[in-house]
Structure 1
Amino acid sequence: HLQDIAARGLEAVMVYLRGLHIAMQTGKLDICGQGLRFYPDEVTPDWELTFMRLDRNMIRHVPRKACLLTTLTELSLRENALPDLPETMTTLYRLKTLALDGNQLQELPTAVSALTGLERLTLTSNDLARLPPSVSCLGALKSLAVEGNPRLAQLPVEIAELRALESLTFDSDTVFLPCPQFHTDFATVMGYLQQLHAARKSLRLDLSNRDLTSMPADVVLITGLTVLSLARNGIARLPDDMMEKLPKLVMLDVESNHLVALPESIGAARGLTCVCALGNRVTRIPSSLGMVRDHGMLLELDPDQVQVPPPEIYRRGINVTLGYLKLLEQARGTGALSLNKQELGALPVEVCELGSLTDLSVSSNRFTSLPAALKRCSQLTRLNVSNNMLEALPPELAALTDLTDLDCSGNPLTASCPSPDMLARGLPHVLAYFRRLLDCKQTGLLEVGALAHEALSLEATTVTSVTSLCVDTAPPYALAAFQFSASPEQVEGMAELLMRRCQLDQLPAFVPTLGTLTSVDLSHNSFRGVPLELCMALRELRALSLEHNMVTGVVAEVSMLSQLTLLNLGHNKLASIPDVIGETLTLLETLLLPNNAIQVVPGNLRGCKDTLKTLDLEHNAMTMLPPVCLELTRLVNLLLEGNKVSQLPLSLGKLIFLEQLTVPATDLGNVPQDVVLAGGKAIIKYLCGLEDCESSGLLDLSSMNLRLLPPAVRIVTSSLTILKLDDNPLVRLPTWLGEFQALQRISLRNTKVQRLPATLGAISSLSEVVVDASERLVSPPPEVVASG
């Protein structure tokens, strides 16, 4: 340390030596801020020091030698780097003041607790996490300072034993005390700590009228507590595990607080005889309370607030209440709960929270419904709800995938959810129906046709969520007995009806009542025409399908369906397209008539020329393209495959929106078979190319599967300037190509042409012939080709 001082210069050395000299004369050593890293070795007990101050140095260790200064009454080691103190400090029994501020102490050295004569102890700005109970040994202590220790969260109750204490300072933002006034009022702090200390002996603690906002954490440290009063405070919540830590509690008074619930562990205090919670908003009594030994205990709550257990139970007295709670608590372990004949008006919500329940019996009560929350009991295998007043079962029962036994006998089930027919077919059938109801709430589609046996029924609450009703494969008698318990207003969201493969030849009576339907699919039945009652009742219909029926004609009343945009009469027995379609269904966008016996398409179909985009006439008996098709200028899809059409007019290329065309796989006159075999897009491109060439001069016949240039090209002799034949299996060019006197450019990329006809030499305007491999050409010879 002398070297450290010498390094700071002569002045520092003189200050140090002068301090030692004064100490020898006066018994007071004061060497502060000199950068000392070690305790001064020169100091000996012979000096009989009473005062030593070594503040603002860098001392890391106090040697045993310093503990021989038994005459010391004041020791200050502030702002050093001490991590601890030696055990031998107990020899400094005359110390009155000990200042250890600004060091690195993580706990109070045990030697300090042995300095029983200490009157002032300062430990500010260290790293203390706690004060040991042994602090109570400092009986003469008058002042204790522990602020600036961010990890110090609690004061030990033993501080209450320091009767001489006059000052206690700590950080109010880190040290937890249950009331704000405790942080500023020394007398209140000491009173609180003394009360906790006394409770360790009396096992009774009264913290009423203290403006507490929470229960002090110190309370649960008194594990033998039997009486606890927290009345008339502002506590909003008690710790859930407090009763597990206070298992010997007999009386709990929390009157006039802000509680909404009692702690879940309250039943852990088996000897509890009195709980007073009046003046709170407690709505729920934990089921664990049912496990107390004395079912005659005093339980005081505001009856109008209590919801759990239900009023039917709570108002029957404490014995019934605790018995009910005991059943709930036992069910958590056994998985079985029986609440038969309890006069309950509804299934208690707390029952639905028993996720481990496997067997539930609530027979002979007064239930009119079951809550959807019952699905939380996901492990249920047996459910008995017999002899109640249930009008329906909730679809959410479908979530109980382990359920194998359901007894709902003795209930009216007037809402037919499920219907008697479904119940008679067994639980799996009922749950399958419920699963579809649940799916419907998500998707709007309800598929129940496959579940129909004798009758179908839907209750009002189910129908409101249905936008699409599917009764496919339901037998006719089930549809004839279809029951609705919904008003027209309740079904106004139902837009689609799917009734396919039902063997119907007439419309079930319930269909016309669904006046808001916009789509009806009656495919794969036995209808001989469009049902008259459908035309008269469903005026808002936008889509109608009678595919795969036995339709031979269409009644005039179909004109009432003036909003139709899609009509599907495919796979029937129509010999012609009814005039009424073109005359009145002028909003049609899609008309599907495949697989009939149609020979002629009436001209009045032009009534749909501004709307019709898809016309399907595949597999009929037509021998020519209906002329009216050329007037349907909005056509996107024209399907003619399976007919005997032998000619396609070039004017079909005028349909500028046409994207899909299917035709018989034969030569179609102006359209060669090569193009036909290339597909509909190639045909459209071919026809449009010929049509547009008159104005553009360009004819693009690339990728059309051409082996020969079609003679039909000769119709554009005078206007053709550019001819593209790329990507075809073309092997030669015709000699008549020399007739195209306006031709300027020919493109033959990716073809098989080896010879250019000599007639091309007669075309004076021809300036370019494009091939991808000039060496492929035989005529002209390579030498000529190389010249350009």
Structure 2
Amino acid sequence: MSRFKRGGKVDSLAGFRTEKEEPAILCGLLMAARKSGHLNLCGRGLTEVPQNVYRLNVDMPEKANQNLTFSASDRWWEQTDLTKLLLASNRLMALSDDIKLLPALVTLDLHDNQLSGLPSALGELEQLQQLRLSQNQLSVLPVVLCSLRNLRSLTLQKNLLESLPEELGQLDNLTDLELSSNHLKSLPSSLGRLTYLQKLDLSHNLLTSLPDSVAQLTSLKLLDCRNNQLTCVPANLSEMVNLEQLFLRHNKLRSLPKIPAPNLKELYVGNNQIEQLEVEQLASLAFISLLELRDNKIKALPDQITLLSTLTRLDLTNNDLSTLPASLSLLPNLKMLLLDGNPLRGIRRDLLTKGTNELLKYLRGRIKEEPGKVEECTTSMTLPSQAWVNLHNVKMLKTLEYSAKQAESIPDELFNAAEGKIVSTVNFSKNQLTSLPVRLVAFQSSVTELNLGFNRLTCCAPEICELSQLTHLDLRNNQLSDLPCELGSLSKLHSVILNYNRFKCFPDVLYQIVSLEVVLLGNNQVGGVDPGRLIRLVNLSTLDLSNNDLLNVPPELGLCTTLRCLTLEGNPFRVPRAAIMAKGTDAVMEYLRGRIPS
């Protein structure tokens, strides 16, 4: 008789079958997640999210069913809800509706998976602020996502999106929207309702135009439209008052965009089909610092290139330039000029290899225009002291400039030439001035920018307060240790640059100027700052206190919620640690807030 009982039905293949098991997540990971509120499951080869992850805050842990005494650190009923779930770099093809069992999620990272759709339950995560969906296979953005009103950051690059829902405009708290490397051919007009948006990446799509509503994004600082099929950009982009960087490389533009945005500093229009630079277009870029025009078809530069008086970097690589205007050498701030790949004639090849300074020096030697004449001068001769007066800058650019002369005083001839004219910008930097030029007061109703950097000022005269329209004051690289209290009357002052001086404390008067947005105090000897008074500067977004003598950083500084850029490197304090500092301003501010005594 056989040893095996034959009474029941036997599965002859039972020993070869393995039951489908749920992916195992280490018990220690789940316990740590209950304590920290963070769970990192990146790069684990998951094809689905384990149920015990969704039910982390719903089910009791197995230990709770046992008759055990819990220590303070193991009391599961006192643990925190899951706020951060990282599932990047797995093989997820779908997400369960059970995601709604994690209603406290603030960050959900699903990038680098194989998702082709999203569950409707995702719309129930009302606390969600950061959603990362890049590098998936999404062809449609579910409308339900647009109900996540607390969402701050949405990343969707490298998907298969061909369009966006009109409901996108409901995400009115969004500050960062990444849509690069999709198949977008158009954008919804509701995009303009995202008025808190600061960064918009539309690069590597199939866009042929931008909706006019884009101009309503008045908080936007960076707009990236590289590698599309744009033939023009809306003229009303000039309404984007905070736009600083605009990327238009690899499109089909035939002319330089006319964008007089007041804060535009960097414009990238390389790899287009631009053949000519119009004076009107140049005039609109009044405050541009970097202009990239490489890989176009530009044949000549107009003499009015001097309109770009703030330009520091000009890239003209691989164009069709055969000559350069001598006026190029009159750009006062130009530090980098790139010309490789142009059929230039009349300029020796070895001169081009010597760098920007030598080339500009050569071009200055070619200037043959007659020296400027001082108006109302009765003599037929031009005095030597008048030869350098640039009447073009005074009349057209409203700029009074006498820079890099190493002079101990500003000649009267310069003020005489500008007498009776409107002057908005004054640049007397890189001289040997020891006091504020008295005759500056004559332009008190028009001067908005004053640059006295790189001089020998030991004090700032109270008369500066008479420049009532001043918005920008540059006093870097002087010998200042204090500022006059009269400076507090400058109600329109937005930025103050005081780097490389001798300040031992944060200037008291700056606490009184509510309009301030930028304060640069790096490389001084500042030993402390009063966060209680600093928090009253409700417009302050940039504060540089690097390379000073700060022994500690007051935690209350974290309450200055308007700060977007806080620089503290090079000080002798021990905390925050370098690892936290390296994460940027947001991490430092969060750390400081966490140290405020409750």
Q: Output the TM-score relative to the length of structure 1.
A: 0.33
The structure carrying a bigger helix percent of its residues is 1
Q: Output the TM-score relative to the length of structure 2.
A: 0.43
For CA contacts below 8 A with separation 6 or more, give which structure has more relative contact order.
2
